[in-house]
Structures are given as C-alpha cells and as structure tokens.
A and B are shown apart, each in its own frame.
Chain A
Amino acid sequence: MVDRYRSKALELPDPEHKIDRVDLAFYGVDHSSATYEARIFIGAPRSLKRDAGPDHPAYAGSFYVFGHDRCYGEEGHCKVPEKRDPFDLRLPHHLEPTTEIVTVTAAIERLLADGKRKAVVDVIARDSEGKASRALDFTQLRLLTYR
C-alpha cells in the first residue's frame, strides 16, 4: 500500500475524433483499511506536491474509499478467497476489491487542446485532515474513451 502513485504514460484518445466522455477506471481497489480520498492529476510534472488540490491545473477529480478499518473477526475472516467455486451462490466476500470510475473528460480535453498525445496519471491519497494515507492499492488503471 502506498500514499501516492505515478503511472507510466497513457496514450490519450485520438484528437481527430470528437469525445463524448472519458473515464479513468481503477480496478482491484483495496478497501480493507482506512477511509481516504484519492486525488487524481493527469499530465502533472514530476514535481507535483502532495498537498496539490482541485485548484491545480492538472487536477482531474477524486474518488473516496470508505475503509473497513481492520479485521474484527478471527484469523482468516478478512482474507478474500483467491478462487471462487462457480457453484458458490453466496454473496462476494466483504473485502472483494472494488472498482472506482472517475469521469475526466474536461481534463483530457484540456490536454488534447494543448497538443498532448500521452500523459501520466498521479494519484495522491490523503485522509480527511489532509495527511498522507498509505491505504492506496489497486491492480490496474485504464483510460476509457467514449464517442
């Protein structure tokens, strides 16, 4: 788990085509620990400060995770099963990783207008007092463009 993340460069949508909507999808998001805000910046310089906020030109949006806090069961209670029997009709484990979808159309349109073809994504995790939160963990990030 980390308190900030910087992606490899993502290819932006083709500027020749009109965009209806662009989403950033974070897959496999862990929610087993603290409650936190994940601030998302697209195309920010490497020097991006950790207290950067919505007034930063590269800010694209936030998602919020409602943390489970810690395990209140016995050993194994909060361990997500790695495999699931196809005949297991029970509801998913309570800590099954989730997906967060953040609509970032305006941010992508700004980058395209500036002639950018690729951009990195920075994610900064903070608690409600603005302190760094080492609760950020996800398996994949994808930029989804809709026309």
Chain B
Amino acid sequence: MSVAPAISGRRASVSLRHRRSARRLSKGQLTDLRKAVTKTQRIGDDRGYQYWAGVHGLPNPQSCRHGDELFLPWHRAYLYFFEKALQDQVAGVTLPWWDWRDHSEALPAAYARARTAEGKANPLYSSPIQPSGRRQPNERRTWREPGDVDWLPSANQVTQVRANRDYFTFQNQLESLHNGVHGYAGGTMGAVATSAYDPIFWAHHCMIDRIWYLWQLDHPGARLPARYLDLALPPFPMTVRDTLDVTALGYDYAAATAAVPGTGNG
C-alpha cells in the first residue's frame, strides 16, 4: 500500500480557479461559460466540443470508464482536458457543478431554459450531435426526458456515501448515485454512448468530482494501492496518481474565498 498524494499542498493557491455551483453563477460567469461553449461548438477539430463529447461515447472507441475502478480518476482527467479546451476560448472560465441534491428545481435554470434572458439560443440547453456520435441518423441534437425525481440523490444519501472510509467502496457507491442522475435526465444523457453531448453532463460530473474532492478532505489518510496509482487513463496522458491532487490541476471547489494582502516581505 502506498499513501495517496496529499491534497493539502495548496500549490499555486493564488492562481487556483474555483469551480462554482451552477445555481450561483454571476451574470458574467454564466456569460463566459456560454461564450466558451459556443466557441468550442464552432471548432470542428480536436479542440472542439464535438471532439470532446465523442471521447466519452460515440464514435467508437468509447473511452470512458464505468463500472470499474477507474471511474473517478478517468472522469477527473476528462473534465480537466475539456475545461482546458474551454479556457483556450475564454480565459479563466471554469466548469460549474450541478447540485442535484436540491430536488425543488431539479435542473439548474442556466441549463433548463431553451433561451437566455436576452432571448438568444442557450448553448447549455442542448447541443448538436455530430453524425458519428448519433445512435440514430435523426438524433441531430441532444434531448432530455426527466423522469422520477427520486432518482436524484438526496443530501442524506451523499452524506452516507461520503462516510465510507474505503476508497473503492466510496467510488462504487458514488458511481451508483451518478448512474441515477443519468437515468433521471434521460434522453441523450441516459446512455453512455451519447451522454457527454448534453451540456448538463459536464455539470453533473463536476458534482461527482466535487464529492470525491470533499471525500478526500474528509479522509486525508486514505491509502491506495501502488498498482492502482500507476494505472494509465487513456486517452489522457495521466495516471491515477496525477489526478489525486486537484490543486495540482489548477482548480478547487471552495464555496467562498476571501483574501487580504500579506506582509509584503515574502
């Protein structure tokens, strides 16, 4: 057994970017996110939205890892590279998280409405699907079919899952909650092959990644086997070990931050 890399290094804390709740984005943050998504949708090569959505599902190979021990690190790497693609278009933009524990407004307003407040098409509401990413030839855009709201995890369920001390049991039970959210959203989100084309996919997985981060804070002494830490996460040039410290990846999930100048002598 080997000790997982600490997440308390807080490297480059001044320049860390914060991923925020999709329900609490400022107008400027939401505008930047929409602008970044729109710009990546216009790029037809491997910097574009369609390319990144296709890495998860169709076209083959469907590289995502589900139902196995790489579920959390693979998706952390995936979010990291997609967020970098967004930041290449709009500097500083970050992925927000969808807090599905709040069942009163199941889908965040930023994603739930077809039009923005300014009357423009909302790029977070739906996305085109490239021909090679479609299950049927006529599935040109993403669609949702929300089902039973009980499929969305409750705060209590998340607390219970976070209480697991064993990483692999935690991951297994968190993946099951994650599966329910895909099923709740339905439509394009309800199948592995197409789910990442729906813009809500990224906010859903950001929530999963956030819960993993919170679990890491809860269990700083968690130990992971060395053979696990060295597993690769194709197609990303990363191993499991590379994903464990989010501050090394340049982001954090702190709900609020406040800073004051230091002594000036440092």
Min CB gap A142→B, angstroms: 14
B173 interface residue per 8 A CB criterion: yes
CB within 8 Å for A128 and B67 given contacts A35-B190, A69-B135, A69-B192: no
Question: In angstroms, how far is the closest chain B Cβ from the Cβ of A127?
Answer: 7
Within 8 A of A (CB), among B123-137: 135
Contact code string B173-189 (vs A, CB < 8 Å = 1, else 0): 10111111011101000
B-facing residues in A110-146 (Cβ within 8 Å): 127-130
Tell me the bound Cα distance from A130 to B147 in angstroms.
Answer: 9
Stretch from B33-41, B58-66, B86-94, B112-120 that touches the partner: B58-66
By secondary structure, the A interface counts as loop
- Shortest beta-carbon distance from B163 to chain A in Å: 9
Q: How far is the CA of A31 from the CA of B176 in the complex (A)?
A: 12
B193 to chain A, nearest CB (A): 6
* Contacting residues, chain B, for A65 (C-beta < 8 A): 179
Complex interface residues of chain A between 65 and 103 (CB less than 8 A to chain B) = 65-69, 72-73, 77, 91-92, 94, 96-103
- B192 near A68 (CB under 8 angstroms)? yes
Per-position contact with B for A16-54: 1 when CB-CB < 8 Å, else 0?
000000010000010100011100000000000000011
Are B176 and A63 in contact, CB atoms less than 8 angstroms apart? yes
A118 to B182, alpha carbons, bound, how many Å?
A: 35
> Which B residues lie at the A interface, using CB under 8 A?
58, 60, 62, 65-68, 70, 135, 147-148, 150-151, 160, 169, 172-173, 175-180, 182-184, 186, 190-193, 234
Chain A to chain B contacts (Cβ below 8 Å), 12 pairs: A31-B66, A35-B190, A64-B151, A66-B66, A66-B178, A68-B191, A68-B192, A69-B192, A72-B58, A72-B62, A102-B176, A129-B147
Would you list the 4 A-B pairs with minimal beta carbon distance, nearest first?
A128-B147, A98-B67, A64-B179, A64-B180
Q: Which residues in A have some Cβ–Cβ distance to B below 8 Å?
A: 23, 29, 31, 35-37, 53-54, 62-69, 72-73, 77, 91-92, 94, 96-103, 127-130
Task: Taking A91-B68, A96-B68, A128-B190 as given, write out 6 further A-B residue pairs in contact, using a Cβ cutoff of 8 Å, ordered by the A residue number.
Answer: A35-B191, A37-B151, A64-B177, A66-B67, A67-B190, A92-B68
